[in-house]
């Protein structure tokens, strides 16, 4: 039978070992490398900005993080989430260097958020640009007639059921929607022009939704350098005045859902984020989802 003293020693040992393990496996400031570069990855459709925003704010406030690298692999997504991320990156870039690294695709909303960085890297073949706005509305009127389905809308105003799939959109509704899209498009153009310090008229000339290669984007001033992720990291280290080899820390990702476990990351994301019905006005490239 163990003596009380042995039990106490064992308990203290377990507590100390647990605390040490927590310090080692966490981002605790006591063990943080003072030359850290935070990597924030934005992959897939941009429809929920919360995790990305939390990571940006966390690393902006961390004194051991000298710079941020935003890795973008996205065809864009919702207007609101894209604008939220843009604003937080813009705020961060005022106090800490932010470098964007564009992957295979960083278009529309994907480019929108990247434009807030102080420096942008892209590969020559990166698909980017697509400065434009889109909204999807299905017209299922003929299908509903064939299957004998009908919909009754009780509304408070003539525009309240705009996008009702049971009928053709009226000319007045199309005009209202076009006016809204034009306004959001203007916001996109102004944000890129301001962030990249390019005259607005030059952005307007290419803001027709066209996709661009990284090489063309550099010629137009939308990208600073042709290079890969490692080139972006090296630039961030110089801009952040990192001494020696930088330590990369990655923003923690959310756990896997059952759908992701069964179908894989990419397919699950396409299914859950596919625009069905009114998906909102979007900064999204035509090659998505």
Please report the pLDDT score of residue 12 as a whole number.
Answer: 59
Give how far Cα 211 sits from Cα of 20, 110, 201, 216, 284, Å.
50, 12, 18, 10, 11
What does the pLDDT read at residue 29?
Answer: 46
Q: Which residues contact 253 (CB under 8 A, 6 or more apart)?
A: 41, 51
Q: What is the Cα–Cα distance from 206 to 212, expressed in whole angstroms?
A: 9
The single residue of 55, 108, 123, 130 carrying the catalytic annotation is 108
| Whole-number Å distance between alpha carbons of 186 and 207 | 9
Q: Give residue 53's pLDDT.
A: 97
Catalytic: which of 160, 174, 241, 253? 160
The rounded distance, in Å, linking the Cα atoms of 122 and 105 is 10
pLDDT, position 267: 54
pLDDT at 23: 46
Whole-angstrom distance, CA of residue 19 vs CA of residue 7: 18
- Calpha distance 281→287 (Å, rounded): 16
Catalytic (active site) residue 156 = no
End-to-end Cα separation, the chain, in angstroms = 65
| pLDDT block averages, 10 residues each, the chain of length 289 | 58 58 47 81 95 96 96 96 97 96 97 98 97 87 83 84 83 91 96 97 96 98 97 96 91 61 54 48 75
| Domain architecture of the chain: domains with CATH | 32-284 (3.90.226.10)
- Whole-number Å distance between alpha carbons of 258 and 260: 5
In 3-state terms, what secondary structure has residue 10?
helix
User: 3-state SS of the chain: helix, strand, coil percent to 5?
Assistant: 45, 20, 35
d(CA 223, CA 129): 10
Nearest CA among 96, 40, 76 for reference residue 275: 76
Instruction: Based on the residue annotation, tell me whether 108 is a catalytic residue of this protein.
Output: yes
């Amino acid at each position: 039978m163990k003596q009380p003293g042995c039990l106490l020693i064992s308990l203290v040992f377990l507590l100390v070992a647990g605390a040490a393990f927590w310090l080692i496996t966490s981002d605790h400031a006591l063990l943080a490398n003072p030359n850290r570069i935070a990597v924030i990855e934005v992959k897939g459709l941009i429809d929920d900005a919360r995790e990305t925003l939390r990571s940006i704010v966390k690393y902006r406030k961390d004194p051991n993080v000298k710079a941020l690298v935003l890795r973008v692999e996205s065809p864009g997504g919702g207007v609101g989430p894209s604008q939220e991320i843009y604003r937080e990156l813009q705020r961060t870039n005022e106090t800490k260097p932010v470098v964007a690294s564009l992957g295979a695709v960083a278009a529309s909303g994907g480019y929108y958020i990247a434009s807030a960085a102080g420096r942008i890297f892209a590969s020559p073949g990166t698909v980017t640009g697509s400065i434009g706005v889109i909204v999807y509305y299905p017209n299922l009127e003929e299908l509903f007639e064939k299957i004998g389905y009908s919909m009754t809308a009780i509304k408070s105003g003539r525009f309240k059921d705009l996008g009702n799939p049971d009928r053709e959109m009226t000319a007045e509704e199309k005009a209202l929607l076009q006016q809204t899209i034009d306004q959001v498009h203007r916001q996109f153009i102004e944000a890129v022009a301001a962030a990249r310090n390019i005259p607005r008229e030059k952005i307007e000339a290419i803001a027709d939704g066209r996709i661009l290669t990284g090489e063309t984007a550099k010629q137009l001033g939308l990208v600073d350098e042709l290079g890969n992720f490692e080139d972006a990291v090296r630039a961030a280290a110089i801009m952040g005045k990192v001494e020696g080899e930088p330590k990369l820390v990655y923003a923690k990702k959310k756990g896997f859902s059952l759908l992701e476990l069964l179908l894989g990351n990419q397919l699950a994301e396409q299914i859950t984020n596919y625009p069905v019905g009114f998906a909102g006005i979007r900064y999204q490239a035509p090659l998505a989802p």
